[in-house]
Structure 1
Amino acid sequence: VVKTSMKNELEAAKRKSSPRDLFHTPILRKRICVLSLMRYLFTVSIFGLSLHLQHLSTNIILLQFLSSALGILFSVIGHFVLNHMGRRITQLVLMSLRGIFMLTAVFVPQEMQTLRIIMATLAAALSSLCMCVSNLHINELLPTTLRATGMGVISMFGNSGLFLAPLFMMLAIYSANLPWIFYGGFSILYGFSVFLLPETKNQPLPDSIHDVGNDWKESRQAKEEDSIIKVTRF
């Protein structure tokens, strides 16, 4: 078992990786597709909010100051929450709350300006923390040999949201709240789509494509080999 494992690792180290390898196995192909979609949803939502904060508050300077200060506090608290709740639950909670805060700020009447500022501040402050958690989860899902390439492919699809996010504001000609429904809805949809991916808390990082697994049969064989190693005394 040890010789077989060492042989597989040696062959993986000698093999030159390429972007095509990201779609070589079913499991890795699924992860790339899901992560690319999630990054697109997140990019549209986060830049849609950042570029149009003036629609949520008349005092944009105050809103930027409060969201930046609160973002620092959330980053400190997020470290402990992430280690306690795991990657998937943390993203579900943060992205769902962010979407709810955004939608609440939009549908609150203009007369309740204080509540609108509070909701918009919380939504903007959670953006940086959500980005950190998202990047951490992506890095832990991709194998080491293809991590940089995978991040490049995912970012390429995600960056399409950079120029599409402002275009959603054109929907305001039909309804003033319609663009914000998309921005907040994409954030909530991102939170639930994370369950299409495995949890990586306290799990070993995959070093190669072989560690991710080619199919169900190979994954089962790898688990059996791991169990043999654990029970064998050397």
Structure 2
Amino acid sequence: MADFGEILRAVGDFGLFQKLIVLALSFPNILLSISFASILFMDFDPERHCNTDWILGAGPNLTEEEQLNLTIPREPDGSLSRCLMFAPVDWTLDSIRRYGLNHTTACQDGWVYDQTLYQATIVTDFDLVCDKAHFAGIAQTVFMAGILAGSFIFGPASEPIGRKRAIQIPTVLLMIFIVAAGFCPNYYLYIVTQFMSGVGIGGYRVNSIVLVTEWMGTAKRSLGLCVSQIFNALGSMSLAGIMYLIRDWRRAQLVIAAPMALAVIYIWFIPESAQWLLEQGKTEEVKKLILKVAAINKQKVPESLLDKISEKTIVEPGGIELLIQSSILKYFVIITFIWFSINLAYLCVVFNIANLGLNIFLTQFMFGLTEMPAHILCIWLLEIRGRKVSLMSTVLLGGFFSFLVILVPRDQALLVGVLVITGQFFLIWGMSICNIYIQELFPTSIRHTATGLSTVVMRLAGLLSPLLNLLAVYHWTIPIIVFSSLALGGGALTFLLPETRGVDPPDLLDQMEAMDQEGKQKTDDGSGEKAKTKT
């Protein structure tokens, strides 16, 4: 049986076909980023006060200022209460002015919302304020739970049904529920659509990465994954522009769905992974696919190679059990913790963007803009400094700048913004390195299992980040201290990982474990030699 790397080299491992695949599978990442982050704008809590139009029955000619002064109590700082009103009374206007109103109650007839920033959000449409204010955070948590479920369901599903189907189904799900969310009449149906949208996003992302890497040569995989991440950054930047122009969450849903329809159509024409087809024994399909790819890349496939494809391939059984029993389990635990800590720190800031005291549209645009150089520099840094040093430095710097935020007075919005954006820059950089590093740490036989499990744990960070942000009600520094400390710890643990630059991981686990032991012996011998020289 021909090695699949040999097949790729024959048909071109980064020709026109691979470039088209990368672009086709990366384009939905723009839309996924918009769908992922749009909830940040949709759950924005605007200025508001109770609806007190009941007093207009007694004084229809009252100005808005007079109406509010008579019917809304004041907070200690002199501002109007956002959750209380004076209880309605059956008095004349003169009596109300003479005696005043003293008995307060919760808002009885809804709220009047300020529309300076947005015309409508899920908060204003579903009245998620006061005693229901935590419902917006629940919506974020449900959304992230959907992403976790999507990764958990469609990650393993790509083995029996194939990479192609495991991409197509989530794409269709996402399209359906993005549109459905825009027509939701109540909050409970809305969170159902958010969960299902999350399932679509989680399923697509985990399998699109697998399909991209399985069609590319080892030397070009980091480039393909970094390009895919750049499209995520374009999505974050586009989101700021879309929400700035639209300002209505329901219309925004439909605008997001329009280009998604294009992806739903062309995604059915994406070819299946030839590597997966080989593992399924579908050699005739592989031959036809290889010839098509070679034609697109303008390469000629030797007949001898096509003959080898017909031979039976032997694949080492993978799975969770094999990973747990292996000596490289420690690497899985470390890289998973690092990925988790980076994602937690990143998402805690993203989900708290509206409360940073900054211009929400400009900040969102800057988040996306800083991602671009992070992913581009990732390609360069990985080749110059290697995986280990690159990951350690970026995560430690990301955690450090995030921690510095607690030392800055909250009224210094510009300085806070600089620290937040700088921290996000390094965290995104580290996240991009993790995506590549984890593909190289494990042999082929357990790579998909290790990546899938690590992705599920990483998605747990998305589930926990809104809950961690809720601890800010006790003190605003608590979430920052927790996620920045975890990021610093993850950066320190990177020291225990092996360097993988320029090293092709073997296909079999036994070979990987032998390489690991050999590396340890070389390290020990090196230490011993240094000690002797010193003596």
Q: 2:362 aligns with which of 46, 54, 62?
A: 62
Residue 495 of structure 2 is matched in structure 1 by 195
**What is the alpha-carbon distance in structure 2 between the residues aligned to residue 31 and residue 13 of structure 1?**
26
Q: Deviations over 1:16-35 (max 9, x none)?
A: 22221111222x22222222
Letter in 1 for 2:381: V
**Per-residue deviation, 1:181:** 0.8
Residue 19 of structure 1 is matched in structure 2 by 320
Structure 1 or 2, whichever has the larger Rg, is 2
Q: How does 1:166-181 map to 2 (within 5 A)?
A: 166-181=466-481
Residue 3 of structure 1 is matched in structure 2 by none
8 Å Cα contact 1:99/1:123 also seen in 2: yes
Residue 98 of structure 1 is matched in structure 2 by 398
Describe the shift of the 1:110–1:211 C-alpha distance in structure 2 as closer, same or farther (beyond 3 A): same
Letter in 1 for 2:382: L
8 Å Cα contact 1:141/1:206 also seen in 2: no
CA-atom RMSD in angstroms: 2.4
Describe the shift of the 1:105–1:57 C-alpha distance in structure 2 as closer, same or farther (beyond 3 A): farther
8 Å Cα contact 1:100/1:184 also seen in 2: yes
Q: How does 1:41-190 map to 2 (within 5 A)?
A: 41-190=341-490
Structure 1: runs of 5 or more not aligned: 1-11, 225-234
Residue 228 of structure 1 is matched in structure 2 by none
**What is the alpha-carbon distance in structure 2 between the residues aligned to residue 92 and residue 74 of structure 1?**
15
8 Å Cα contact 1:88/1:195 also seen in 2: yes
**What is the alpha-carbon distance in structure 2 between the residues aligned to residue 113 and residue 64 of structure 1?**
15
- Number of aligned residue pairs: give it: 208
**What is the alpha-carbon distance in structure 2 between the residues aligned to residue 29 and residue 74 of structure 1?**
29
Q: Deviations over 1:28-78 (max 9, x none)?
A: 222222223223222222211211122323211111112211221232223
8 Å Cα contact 1:56/1:120 also seen in 2: no
Describe the shift of the 1:38–1:115 C-alpha distance in structure 2 as closer, same or farther (beyond 3 A): same
TM-score computed with the length of structure 1 as normaliser: 0.80
**What is the alpha-carbon distance in structure 1 between the residues aligned to residue 491 and residue 366 of structure 2?**
24
**What is the alpha-carbon distance in structure 2 between the residues aligned to residue 35 and residue 51 of structure 1?**
24
TM-score computed with the length of structure 2 as normaliser: 0.37
Helix, strand or coil at the partner of 1:111: coil
**What is the alpha-carbon distance in structure 1 between the residues aligned to residue 376 and residue 336 of structure 2?**
27
**What is the alpha-carbon distance in structure 1 between the residues aligned to residue 367 and residue 458 of structure 2?**
24
**What is the alpha-carbon distance in structure 2 between the residues aligned to residue 163 and residue 172 of structure 1?**
17
**What is the alpha-carbon distance in structure 2 between the residues aligned to residue 33 and residue 170 of structure 1?**
28
**What is the alpha-carbon distance in structure 1 between the residues aligned to residue 374 and residue 452 of structure 2?**
27
Q: Which moved more, 1:78-87 or 1:139-148?
A: 78-87
**What is the alpha-carbon distance in structure 2 between the residues aligned to residue 133 and residue 215 of structure 1?**
22
**Per-residue deviation, 1:94:** 0.9
**What is the alpha-carbon distance in structure 2 between the residues aligned to residue 117 and residue 210 of structure 1?**
49
Runs of 4+ residues over 6 Å off in structure 1: none
8 Å Cα contact 2:505/2:512 also seen in 1: no
**What is the alpha-carbon distance in structure 2 between the residues aligned to residue 36 and residue 181 of structure 1?**
21
Letter in 2 for 1:17: G
**What is the alpha-carbon distance in structure 1 between the residues aligned to residue 483 and residue 360 of structure 2?**
19
Letter in 1 for 2:340: Y
Structure 2: runs of 5 or more not aligned: 1-312, 523-535
8 Å Cα contact 2:335/2:434 also seen in 1: no
**What is the alpha-carbon distance in structure 2 between the residues aligned to residue 68 and residue 111 of structure 1?**
24
Q: Which moved more, 1:107-116 or 1:85-94?
A: 107-116
**Per-residue deviation, 1:169:** 1.8
**Per-residue deviation, 1:87:** 1.0
Describe the shift of the 1:13–1:209 C-alpha distance in structure 2 as closer, same or farther (beyond 3 A): farther
Identity of aligned residues (%): 21
